[in-house]
Amino acid sequence: MKNNRQAGLSLMEVVISMAMILVLFILYIAAQNTTIHTRKLRYENLAYHAANKKMEELRATAFNSLPVSGAISDSMLGQIPSGAGSFTVNDYAGFSGLKEVIVTVTWNDGISKQVVLKTLAGSGGINP
């Protein structure tokens, strides 16, 4: 008696194997994109917190003692690629006794980005 069975894979086994490989590849790409997106959001979050911290320091400074400008030195900026920060304090146009405080944090993770926070400071304090 002759055995006509051949060794090898059937077409259905090949199709199922390729589908499984495709699904694994799609999951891998999704994980890579999630990792990249999470890293970029982390940089933005660190920049916002560094800017907010400086803004709160400036808000706690007496109105007449507010510096005109300066750089931000915060350890969080070291965790951001090319992270740097600065602030400016200007007289607010049209109103005496008000100053505009602008805090800016910049970084570059392949694309130049920045976080800018603005507030007004009054000579009468928060509750004049």
Confidence at residue 6, expressed as pLDDT on a 0 to 100 scale: 67
Confidence at residue 127, expressed as pLDDT on a 0 to 100 scale: 42
105: three-class secondary structure by DSSP: strand
Nearest CA among 95, 90, 84 for reference residue 54: 84
> How do the pLDDT tens digits run along the chain, 128 residues long?
566 666 777 889 999 999 999 999 999 999 998 988 898 899 999 999 999 999 999 988 888 889 999 999 999 999 999 999 999 999 988 788 889 999 999 999 889 999 999 998 887 665 44
Confidence at residue 125, expressed as pLDDT on a 0 to 100 scale: 60
CATH 2.160.10.10 applies to domain 11-122: no
Confidence at residue 59, expressed as pLDDT on a 0 to 100 scale: 87
Provide the 8-state DSSP code for 77.
Answer: G
Confidence at residue 47, expressed as pLDDT on a 0 to 100 scale: 95
For the chain, which residues make up each domain, given as ranges? 11-122
Confidence at residue 3, expressed as pLDDT on a 0 to 100 scale: 65
Q: How far is CA 38 from CA 91, 96, 100, in A?
A: 39, 44, 33
